[in-house]
Amino acid sequence: MKYAENILGTIGNTPMVKMNALTKELPCLVLAKYETFNPGNSVKDRMALTMVEDAVAAGKLKPGGTIIEGTSGNTGMGLALVAAVKGYKMICVISDKQSKEKVDILKGMGSKVYVCPTDVAPEDPRSYYSTAKRLSEEIPNSWYVNQYDNPSNTKAHFQSTGPEIWDQTDGKVTHFVVGVGTGGTISGVGAYLKSKNPNIKVWGVDTYGSVFKKYHETGIFDKNEIYPYITEGIGEDILPENVNFDIIDGFTKVTDKDAAVYTRRLAREEGMFLGNSAGAAIKGVLQLKEHFSKDDVVVVLFHDHGSRYVGKIYNDDWMRKQGFLE
């Protein structure tokens, strides 16, 4: 018989899928690392498990303890899976721009959810960063995960996602393109791939309203770059420790409209029912066209599943209200 000991044993080893319709104008092979096959339907299951395992080993998370995290939804889902299997309580603090589906899913997984305003500075006590931190100080036997600065986030991708991409491409990968939020995925995968072949180029996909691209290009943390945006999962108004700018070759910014429109095109033209950041990622790949040549193998990573966006990207009324659909 072949079976996993519990659901956590099914994390990782996700498929790699060739892109066809959307990338036909590109000269090279484009492959998608398809992370929705993880049990929580996102790449974040990988780092959630590693962060918990490392916290237990370091004595930071003790039996019967409460896991607390500020999350855009997917890390919360991964942590909730781990909490359910390993017997911890779970609190997620989420910002009010995230889809209602994400909040409902977290509650369905047994997590308590606090919703905080998006449009306040990170240091504001109402922000989801500050609220998560405060709760961890108030609740006894609790552990604040802090995916932004927790090195186990990057480590998970260095140990699993990176080696999988290397093996699945037989070491032929030449470019890695991915949306950047906490930075764990790009930094872990990027560092692993460059350790195997320093010529591999690593590109981050950023949003308008986020600080990453300008900071990477100038070293300036420009507050004027910060304003509200709609794309979920990528871009930041802070510099997380998990973004290793040294291993990133460049950023490209994708508009909210393009991210939404391309998410829908992935579903209709490739049969890929994916989240908002996947649309941003594939549009990012198309924007980088001039960097690719015939023999290149470009890997793009798709973070999460479309089911979390049925009330938004996949809802015509919502799309029209944003001005994304005629």
Ligand X SMILES: Cc1ncc(COP(=O)(O)O)c(C=O)c1O
Which positions lie near ligand X, rule CB under 6 A? 72, 74-75, 179-186, 232-234, 275, 277, 303-304
Question: With contact defined as beta carbons under 8 Å apart, do 91 and 68 qualify?
Answer: yes
Q: How far is the CB of 1 from ligand X (least distance, A)?
A: 35
Question: With contact defined as beta carbons under 8 Å apart, do 277 and 304 qualify?
Answer: yes
Q: How far is the CB of 182 from ligand X (least distance, A)?
A: 3
Q: Which residue is nearest to ligand X (CB)?
A: 233
16, two tokens: 């790699």
Q: How far is the CB of 97 from ligand X (least distance, A)?
A: 13
> CA 206, 207, 208 angle in degrees (round to 5)?
135
> What is the secondary structure of 173-213 as a DSSP string?
--EEEEE-SSSHHHHHHHHHHHHH-TT-EEEEEEETT-SHH
- Nearer CB in complex with ligand X: 162/179: 179
Question: With contact defined as beta carbons under 8 Å apart, do 147 and 187 qualify?
Answer: no
Tell me how far the alpha carbon of residue 170 is from its chain's centroid: 25
**How much is the CA Rg of the chain, to the nearest whole Å?**
19
Which of the residues 33, 44, 155, 253 is marked catalytic?
44
Question: Reduced to 3 DSSP states, what percent helix, strand and coil does the chain have, rounded to the nearest 5?
Answer: 45, 15, 40
- Nearer CB in complex with ligand X: 166/309: 309
Q: How far is the CB of 43 from ligand X (least distance, A)?
A: 7
Please say if 44 is a catalytic residue: yes
**Active site positions, annotated:** 44
